[in-house]
Structure 1
């Protein structure tokens, strides 16, 4: 069974699944990308003043850090 939901139900109520959030961020580093639906839908025309800007900026930094930490140079070639 494959679950692709960001919220899961528990006895205490609904909670956010950190695994799904982490997978979404990780998967954006492959052939996907992260975008803002507020900008895409024309609700906002810029990020300045948006209450989510701090979180979005942190996600962008997290993605960059993830790529840096998980990308390994296996060999260098010199064709001189």
Structure 2
């Protein structure tokens, strides 16, 4: 059974599925993007002072690291 939810109900309460979080971050490197709904909805006008900034900056770094580690030039072609 495949679940497409970030939260899972367990006997101990609700837990977050790291696989779904990782997939969301990975998928943002293809044709999607990461955005902040606090900025989009006008709740905040900038990230400075936001208590989530540290986490968001870390997510951006994870994305950059993922792209760097998984992007490889296989071959160069010269059509002269």
| TM-score scaled by length of structure 2 | 0.93
1:18-74 residue CA offsets vs partner (Å, 9 max, x unmatched): 000000000000000000000000000000000000000010010000000001101
Alpha-carbon shift at residue 3 of structure 1 (Å): 1.8
**TM-score (norm: length of structure 1):** 0.93
Quote the residue 2:3 is aligned against: 3
Q: How does 1:41-52 map to 2 (within 5 A)?
A: 41-52=41-52
Are 2:28 and 1:28 aligned?
yes
Separation of aligned partners in 2, 1:50 and 1:9: 29
Please give the secondary structure, in 1, of the residue aligned with 2:68.
helix
Q: CA RMSD in A?
A: 1.2
Note the C-alpha offset of 1:2.
3.6
